């Protein structure tokens, strides 16, 4: 009876470890796909919005909106639903040179703009 119990526990442990190993590459591939589709941006001095005219649109590549600034900044995302109006989330600190999630769980095809706390020049890449 003890042998059967140990075999069951061993098989369940192996199944759990095996499923973890299978999930990890999938998550990594999704992140690579998201950041691999990143687009560059340049926000000129005197502007707080990017883009300064028009809107960006999320894709199926990312579940979140991410930004990697070349100059540290505080940035938020403002959304424009098809029903009209707009709504903005709170500012996030985006340190230079590292990816920052600015909005999570965003639907594909959502229109948005970045709004920076400063009107200083800023550039980098975004993925969403």
Q: Are 48 and 103 found together in one domain?
A: yes
Q: Are 24 and 48 found together in one domain?
A: no
Mean per-residue pLDDT pooled into runs of 10, the chain (128 residues): 47 46 48 85 98 96 96 98 93 98 95 98 97
Backbone φ and ψ for 103, nearest 5 degrees, come out as -150, 140
Q: Are 2 and 58 found together in one domain?
A: no
CATH number of the domain that residue 83 is part of:
2.60.120
Q: Are 77 and 22 found together in one domain?
A: no
CA geometry: angle 19, 30, 97, nearest 5 deg: 125
Q: Are 4 and 62 found together in one domain?
A: no
Structure tokens at 87: 């709504």
Q: Are 107 and 52 found together in one domain?
A: yes
Number of domains in the chain: 2
pLDDT of res. 82: 86
What domain range includes position 26?
A: 1-36
pLDDT of res. 32: 60
CA geometry: angle 21, 18, 23, nearest 5 deg: 35
Q: Are 23 and 83 found together in one domain?
A: no
pLDDT of res. 33: 82
């Amino acid at each position: 009876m003890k042998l059967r119990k140990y075999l069951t526990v061993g098989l369940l442990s192996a199944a759990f470890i095996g499923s973890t190993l299978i999930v990890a590459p999938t998550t990594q591939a999704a992140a690579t796909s998201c950041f691999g589709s990143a687009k560059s941006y340049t926000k000129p001095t005197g502007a707080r919005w990017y883009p300064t005219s028009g809107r960006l649109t999320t894709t199926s590549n990312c579940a979140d909106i991410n930004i990697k600034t070349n100059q540290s900044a505080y940035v938020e995302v403002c959304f424009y639903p098809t029903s009209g109006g707009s709504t903005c989330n709170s500012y996030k600190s985006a340190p230079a040179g590292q990816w920052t999630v600015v909005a999570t769980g965003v639907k594909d095809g959502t229109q948005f703009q970045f709004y920076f706390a400063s009107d200083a020049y800023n550039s980098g890449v975004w993925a969403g």
